[in-house]
């Protein structure tokens, strides 16, 4: 009794379409990384300004208006729930990276 021939898929690196699509995704990932780093710098400036002027760091109204802006701007496949999750993740990450999470109730 002979064994059935096994199917060995072609390595993904040998598929030029897949390779190109993955490279495009990687380019977008790098752009997202750069944008998040720029966002951290700007929010750091906002934090310093708020601290210097005695303003509270947490502004729930601003966070709500930011979500509304993102929901209105979304023209892609991301659902409203996905937009809300993305914004919540960005806010949490930003606060944690800047060491302000504890001061805003997280």
- The pLDDT, as a whole number, for residue 103 is 53
What are the angstrom distances between the C-alpha of 100 and each of 30, 48, 61, 103?
A: 25, 11, 18, 5
Topology (CATH level 3) of domain 13-104: Chorismate Mutase Domain, subunit A (1.20.59)
Using DSSP, how many helices (H) and how many strands (E) does the chain show? 3, 0
Token pair for 38: 């720029």
- The pLDDT, as a whole number, for residue 13 is 75
Residue 61's Cα: distance from chain center in Å? Answer: 21
Backbone angles phi, psi at 6, to 5 degrees: -90, 145
| Mean pLDDT per 10-residue segment, the chain (106 residues) | 67 88 98 98 97 95 97 98 98 95 52
Residue ranges covered by each domain of the chain: 13-104
Q: What is the pTM assigned to this prediction?
A: 0.80
């Amino acid at each position: 009794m002979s064994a059935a021939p096994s199917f060995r898929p072609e390595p993904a690196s040998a598929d030029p379409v897949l390779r190109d699509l993955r490279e495009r995704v990687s380019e977008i990932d790098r752009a997202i990384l750069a944008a998040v780093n720029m966002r951290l710098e700007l929010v750091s400036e906002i934090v310093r300004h708020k601290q210097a002027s005695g303003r509270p760091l947490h502004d729930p109204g601003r966070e709500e208006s930011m979500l509304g802006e993102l929901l209105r701007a979304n023209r892609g496949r991301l659902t409203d729930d996905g937009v809300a999750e993305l914004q919540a993740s960005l806010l949490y990450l930003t606060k944690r990276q800047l060491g302000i999470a504890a001061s805003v109730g997280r």
